[in-house]
Amino acid sequence: MGLFSAKTVKKEDYYTASQMQLVWARFKKKRSAMVAAGFLVFFILCGVFAAFIGPYAPTAAGRNADYTNGAPQVPQFCDDNGCSLVPFIHKVERYRGMDTNFRWVTRQTDERNYMTFLPKVEPYRMLGIPMEHRLFGVEEGFIHLFGTDAAGKDIFSRTLHAIGISLAVGTIGVLISFVLALIIGGVAGYFGGWVDTVLQALMDTVKTTPTIPLFMALAAFIPDEWSAEMRFAFISMILGFLGWGTLARRIRTHVLAERTADYVLAAKLSSAGPAHIIGRHLLPSFTSYIIVDLVISFPYMVLAETSLSFIGLGLKDPVNSLGVLLQNVTKVDVLLNYHWYFIPVPIFVAIVLAFVFVGDGLRDAADPYSERH
């Protein structure tokens, strides 16, 4: 009897659940999507709290002039002198002699440099909040988990900030494209006729616009005196204005199929206006599909920003985006000698793959026919 009642309650919960609850219940069954979602949350938190997690500023203010193009420093607990409960790295020194052809090089010493946690540093701001502590540091000098670049800037700190910047560009671009797609797609599907024809022509124009020549022209248009913030906002808006076509067409198809439904006719008979019907009745009827489309379109925004910055048409120093960091890996000297410059590459690939797996999982979860039972 208890088992029967438990099954009955479970069925009642299923049939009375909202659309979003059903999507979440199906999504949790996708193991790969859940793992990808965990990685995605981790990367997002790293980007949001980059100023606290990264030990130094990603700009020239945090560079180590005595450790340029330095190799990654991995904390350790043991060395030839014994073990320690506190992780440490070995100090480095600048040296030149006959064995280096009298060129300055950086080499490790036997002296330990112990790590510290929550050290007090120069005041900085994170999310507008004044801060005086970072997650970790060392007793003296610097620690560089991912090594340094040619200017001595910490690649680990730059990578964390780059994740935040690239995700922020993608978020702003998705939000802009989302609003445009809702308005244009909803109006085209609801009114139909010549309005639909004109707006579909606009969608096709946006979708077929060649992005690379367009950004080459825009790169020539952007004044050199623009600040990093202005360039960031400009690139985000352009990506948003170019990315709404596909989502708008899908919304238009859904609205076109639902505009003759009984609940829409009832709303019309109640003297509801087109904006009210579209915003309060038609669009909420397929909210889960819209969310899925947004998640799926997010990696394309990040890819677009990274690609444009990589070829020099997007963000530039001192902005630290993933595309800006990847610009350095094309140099011959880096390919031969400084392999730690490639560390941001697998991180970028992991972020894109995480979005893809989460998007695929949400797409399957939003389809009520994906599971026959």
pLDDT score, position 104 = 60
**pLDDT digits 0-9 by tens, 65-106:** 878 888 888 899 988 888 889 999 888 777 766 766 656 666
Q: Among residues of the chain, what percentage have pLDDT more than 70?
A: 88
DSSP H stretches of helix in the chain: 2-16, 19-27, 31-48, 50-53, 155-191, 193-207, 211-221, 228-242, 245-258, 262-269, 274-277, 287-310, 322-326, 332-337, 344-366
**pLDDT digits 0-9 by tens, 190-223:** 888 888 889 888 888 888 877 778 777 777 777 7
With H, G, I as helix, E, B as strand and everything else as coil, classify residue 273: coil
Domains and CATH numbers, the chain: 73-143 (no CATH), 158-366 (1.10.3720.10)
**pLDDT digits 0-9 by tens, 241-258:** 888 888 888 888 888 888
Rounded mean pLDDT, 51-65: 85
Q: Among residues of the chain, what percentage have pLDDT more than 90?
A: 13
Instruction: Say which residue, 116 or 94, is predicted with more confidence.
Output: 116
Q: What are phi and psi of 133, to 5 degrees?
A: -130, 150
- pLDDT band at residue 270 under the 50/70/90 scheme: confident
How far apart are the C-alpha atoms of 330 and 130, rounded to whole Å? Answer: 37
How far apart are the C-alpha atoms of 145 and 72, rounded to whole Å? Answer: 5
How far apart are the C-alpha atoms of 205 and 190, rounded to whole Å? Answer: 21
Stated pTM of the model: 0.81
**pLDDT digits 0-9 by tens, 133-146:** 999 999 888 899 99
How far apart are the C-alpha atoms of 105 and 280, rounded to whole Å? Answer: 67
Question: Of 33-42, 258-267, 277-286, where does the model show the most confidence?
Answer: 33-42
Listing DSSP states for 228-270 in one string gives HHHHHHHHHHHHHHHS-HHHHHHHHHHHHHHTTSHHHHHHHHT
Q: Indicate if the pLDDT at residue 29 is higher than 60.
A: yes
Contact 299, 352 (CB under 8 A): yes
Task: Say how many Å lie between the first and final Cα of the chain, rounded.
Answer: 24
**Please, what is the average pLDDT of the chain?**
81
Residue 69: name the closest of 157, 155, 160 by CA: 155
With H, G, I as helix, E, B as strand and everything else as coil, classify residue 272: coil
Q: Estimate to the nearest angstrom the gap between the alpha carbon of 282 and the chain centroid.
A: 30
Q: Indicate if the pLDDT at residue 41 is higher than 90.
A: yes
How far apart are the C-alpha atoms of 338 and 262, rounded to whole Å? Answer: 66
Q: Estimate to the nearest angstrom the gap between the alpha carbon of 263 and the chain centroid.
A: 39
pLDDT score, position 102 = 59
Q: Indicate if the pLDDT at residue 9 is higher than 60.
A: no
pLDDT score, position 1 = 46
Q: Which amino acid, 233?
A: A
Contact 58, 320 (CB under 8 A): yes
Listing DSSP states for 17-31 in one string gives --HHHHHHHHHTT-H
DSSP symbol at 61: G
- Residue 174's alpha-carbon distances to 103, 142, 236, 304, in angstroms, are 50, 38, 9, 12
pLDDT score, position 34 = 92
- pLDDT band at residue 179 under the 50/70/90 scheme: confident
Rounded mean pLDDT, 175-190: 87
pLDDT score, position 38 = 93
Contact 304, 239 (CB under 8 A): yes
Residue 349: name the closest of 315, 326, 373 by CA: 326
